[in-house]
Chain A
Amino acid sequence: MVNTVRLQFWADSFHEGFWACDEIGKHFSVLSIVYEKGFIPVFRFALKEGLELEVMVLGSYKNWSPLPQPIAELIDWGKPDLIVFDPVSNSILMAVEETAAVPTGNQALQRCERMYGSLRRKIPFWYLLGEFGTHIDGGTRRDSIWPTVLGIKLSCAYKTPCMVLHYSDLAHPEDYAFGTGLASLFLALAIKIKIFFGIEKNAAFYPVLEEQYRHMFNFINSQWRNVVDFLPQEQLLQDPTIPQVIAKFVSGSDPEASVPDLFAWPNTPALPKEIYQNISPGGWIKDDQFVRGLEVLVEKKVAYNLSSNAGSKPQKTQDVSGWISEQKNILQRQNNGNYPFEIDIKDFPKSASGLLHVTTAKNVLYLIDSSEDAAKTLITAFPRLKKFSFPENGSAFVYISNSLKPGRIFGDPFTGQLSAFANIFGRDIRGKNIRLRIAYYPHQVHAQLFDKTNNFRMNKGITIMRELLDFAVFHGGVVVNMQNGQIV
């Protein structure tokens, strides 16, 4: 007598689901492949004597109806390339994101909102990407550390695996056949399936996770110096016991495991001496009163940036002009001109090629020792705020998005940046908030957050902002309390 259990592999394309089945076939024998309705692949695997697994591949999410509710909710945060789904329990076993290119610059943080979107629902998440890639200029690039740092922090905060694995090597950039990531990913999936159907115990997952966390720590250890000047607790990256502790904690084999504080960026007095001494303002491109104030805090060494390599992407004059009009219209429509609107195209400096810079600060993130200083800086920049203060004094971060196009801040790459920065710098390894979380949108009007009844609108970007920010500062110094919607 043969029993059959069933899973569905939902995927962005049929190829990705088929590919996953092919890879799983390296762990379980493939008994047959048939195509329902002439195109829907159904794989049959031998799991063990008397137990077979049927996997149906459903490619391209948008083409299926009804979408199971857990899948619909997850893909609202960006479509993972693969979702392993159990139709019986209506639950997701794991989600996989994979990318063929090595993301650089802003792109490196693009998928971070998917990581957060999955983890906030405690859905295990794997991100497979190239460690080495060929840039458009022909040079070789190596992956950023931020998704990997985020993966470790989210894993511990939500006690759920959030893994970043790499394929390729220096000699074979962007090549899936090299590096350990591909094999490691599908080993994890095979073990997960075995555990799910009772063939293995939960403990079987622990060594896989340990190995994968070890890869993540080794990667950060070998790469962080190319990305930032300073990485807190960097000595722990080489401690061989840390991946073990985290794997035990996350896999549940030791839920009380003592996870040390990791990646906890301190206030300026606790910075290494040479880093503290070298704190210096990075400057700005387009003048902005609040940014000037933040730069003063850096000058005084009571705030710092992580690095000073942010670039600027100048925009066409016509686009800038159109976006300014749109922002003005949104503000007037929603608020009858009750809030200041002073965005003027003359204030946007011209680039060498005649386009207009929208970038204010050259750094998009400031870590500030005292939120009181941040409040005073806001009042100086925007006198209308008068006696404004934050609820309690503590450290803070200010994340800046200079985007001018209406609605743009609710999508990639800004929601990805916010997901990464707020979780990495705003929370400790256990997920506890450690900084007041402030975002500054100098070219966006706050009215975009609200519907006609002055309640928060519903979209992914606003959900992320409400979950990961305490305050958002919009054009003209309009401060919105993101927890209760109160406008200052």
Chain B
Amino acid sequence: MTLEELKLKLGPDLLPWAEKYGPTILTMGAADLMAFIELALKGDQAAAYAAVLAKMPAGDLLAEWDNAHADWGAANKANALRIATQKEALAAVVSILLKIVTAALGLAVLL
């Protein structure tokens, strides 16, 4: 099977994944594919991923580091955004509490 034939069998959401991992998967023999399926169904994701990486050509393995960096980048962007949102929410709460405390102390006129 060619990569193009494989892509025809997949939905559009899987096409980027097929581009990345399809060439390697297509080079794997039946025994390797069965071993991968077994590991994946067992829930041993780490071993399943390692099984595919072990069959990856050196050039694709190099590209996999770019994929990893991109995924770390996406996670870090979401993480930074979540932290910023949390800080804003906390600042809003503290601001309200500050108004109440200063009002209680008769300092509201200063704010």
Do the two chains belong together in a single complex? Answer: no
Query: Which B residues lie at the A interface, using CB under 8 A?
Result: none
Report A's interface with B, CB cutoff 8 A. none
